[in-house]
Structures are given as structure tokens and as C-alpha cells.
Amino acid sequence: MSAEVQSNSERQAYYDRIAPAHLTPLWEVFADLVTPEPKSQAIPAVWHYDKIRPFILESGGLITAMEAVRRVLILENPNLPGQSKITNTLYAGLQLILPGEVAPAHRHSQSALRFIVEGQGAYTAVEGEKTIMSPGDFVTTPSWAWHDHGNDTDQPMVWLDGLDIPIVNFFDASFAENLDQDSQSLSKPAGDSLARYGAGMLPMGYEQVSPTSPVFNYPYARTREALEQMRKVEEWDPCHGLKMCYINPVTGDYAMPTMATFMQLIPNGLTTAPYRSTDGMVYSVVEGSGRTFANGQELSWGPRDTFIIPSWCHHHHEVDGDAVLFSFSDRPIQEKLGLWRQDRGNH
């Protein structure tokens, strides 16, 4: 027996003896634990809305919003089956509310965002205030805030849900509670939070009690107007075009403590420069069409499609005309922990 074979045999015998004590040798797993670069389990992927819309509508005939609590088709990353994840840290799904339905009120530890994909006029109520939703609107639901949804229109309503479920579950910090009535009582008029906190002013004596923005509906009409006004300066970032982040107007921080949200305009004729960052990005296409090349894979997209760029994945965008993209990621957590990194190099 060679010395190498004998050494390996002795080591394996040692490993077998320490295993019942719930011990494992670091030197056997170190290379997989501390990697030279991020090695995301998630892979680039795209969900074409026109192809999956029939499945979304079909779910409305199988289960009611009341039965389901939330009638959602989860967007599972193809390389993370059965884990209810679109990236390693984020959850995403498409929620359907049919005319006349109410998704009953509840609250939970997880923070949630809604990005409206189809339909006009359904509502979300958060902590006593109702907001009417339109395509392109970005709506927040803070952690542990009562919320319910309803549709008083004659058309189905679909929106993209984004939640920090994997993050909260990683910390074993999940709590949830149902309200004893389907819809919460309203204590504020519609539009109160936007008027009170979203007009560049704050009520005297206001004290922030939540790290989430007190504005919970950022209307697309305002966002789109801002992008159009700013494009006149022609200051295009080579990697992003014109990219804006939604903020908490009280602190200037991200609108949500665990998820950063963005809207960007990529103008006709701009092919963005190669880029990668440590936060995996979930995109929802608002306007336009194009292609994103991610680690050599081509993802074609158009209005209402959803696509994902994993952590530390080289990518760039090509557009067929003006394109507007909404996106979200776990960047706030990474930045606060000193982990976030980007690479704007040419690769």
C-alpha cells in the first residue's frame, strides 16, 4: 500500500470516527465555503408573460383568492426547483385578483413589494389606507403591516410580488397573523401617504417608526415623467442608461430595508456596457423590447416579461427602441454589511 493510499485511508477512518460527534473537517470543505468569487446557484432565466398568462388566469378557476389567501404562481429559478426562490435570497411570483374578489387581510415578518403588470383599478390597503393601482406602479408592504387586496373592477388584475422570504427564513425570524375580518378598516383617505410624505415635505413632529418608506405607492406616471425630464440632459450611464432608485423620502435610504428597487430607461441605440454586481437582480419589463446577454446566454424580453440576472453574472442589454425596466435586489442588506461589490469592467 502506497503512503498516499494509507494516508487517505487513515483520514477517512478518522472522519468516520468523528462523524457521530457531529464534527466535520474544515479542510475537506473549505474550497466550497470560502470561494474566490461568488458562485450563485441561481441561473439567468426569463418568463415570457404572454406564454404564462393563460396559466395565471386558469388558476382563477381552480381556487378562489379567499381559499388561497394569495393566489400566486411562484417564479422559481430553474436551478432552484422546489425552493420557492427566484434568486438565492429573493422570492417572486405573479398574483391574480379577479373582479369582485378580496385577498384577505394578514400581516407577516416578510417585507413585500408589488409591481403592477396588468389591469387598472384594483386596490391594496396597507395599515388603514387604500391605494388604487395602475400598471407600472410600485407598491410597498412593510414588515408586520396589515394588508389586503381587492378588485372592484370588471377586469382581472395581475402584479409581480417580490418578498424577502428566503432572507427572513434564513434568520428563522418568520411570524404571520391573520386578521379576524377579510378587509381591514380604513382610517385614512386614499392618497394620504403620498400627499403627506411624497411632496418634498414632512408633517411637523413626524417621527419615523419603520425603516420602510411611509409612501407605499410610487405611481408610474410620476416615475415616467421624471425619466423623460432627465433624458433631456443626455447623461447616460454606459452600464445602465438612466437608472433611478426608489427612496424613503424621510431618510434618503432605499424605500425598503431589505430590497432595493429601481426604474431605468435605456434609450434607443444604446447597447449597455458589460456589468456585474453581487446582488442578483429581478427585472420586470414595463416598456419596449430587447435582449440581455448574461454569461453568454441570450434572454429576449418584451412588455410584462420577467427576467433574472444572478449574482456576479456578466451581462449587458440591447434594446430595439426605448426600454423601461423595473428591478429589485437585496442590495440594501449587502451594502449595510459591507459585502456589495460591482464590476464595471469590459469582459
In this prediction, residue 208 carries a pLDDT of: 85
pLDDT band of 2, cuts 50, 70, 90: low
User: How large is the average pLDDT for residues 33-54?
Assistant: 97
Cα separation, 314 vs 272, whole angstroms: 12
In this prediction, residue 168 carries a pLDDT of: 98
In this prediction, residue 303 carries a pLDDT of: 98
Amino acid at 202: L
pLDDT at 347 > cutoff 50: no
Give the angle subtended at the CA of 170 by the CAs of 59 and 295, to the nearest 5°: 75
pLDDT at 12 > cutoff 90: yes
In this prediction, residue 5 carries a pLDDT of: 67
The answer to whether residues 250 and 197 touch, using CB atoms and an 8 Å cutoff, is yes
Cα separation, 89 vs 163, whole angstroms: 9
Q: Where are the domains positioned within the chain?
A: 45-343
pLDDT 10s digits, 69-124: 999 999 999 999 999 999 999 999 999 999 999 999 999 999 999 999 999 999 99
Cα separation, 331 vs 84, whole angstroms: 20
Question: Which of 208, 281, 220 is closest to 249 using CA atoms?
Answer: 208
pLDDT at 294 > cutoff 50: yes
Q: What mean pLDDT value characterizes the chain?
A: 96
Q: Per the structure block, which three cell numbers stand in for 185?
A: 378598516
Cα separation, 114 vs 136, whole angstroms: 10
In this prediction, residue 345 carries a pLDDT of: 74
User: How large is the average pLDDT for residues 189-199?
Assistant: 93
Residues 45-343: name the CATH superfamily.
Jelly Rolls (2.60.120.10)
Question: Which of 276, 213, 268 is closest to 242 using CA atoms?
Answer: 268
User: How large is the average pLDDT for residues 9-13?
Assistant: 94
Neighbour count for residue 74 (Cβ, 10 Å):
14
In this prediction, residue 346 carries a pLDDT of: 58
Burial class (CB in 10 A: 0-12, 13-18, 19+), 337: exposed
pLDDT band of 260, cuts 50, 70, 90: very high
In this prediction, residue 3 carries a pLDDT of: 66
In this prediction, residue 1 carries a pLDDT of: 57
pLDDT 10s digits, 195-236: 999 999 999 999 888 999 999 999 999 999 999 999 999 999
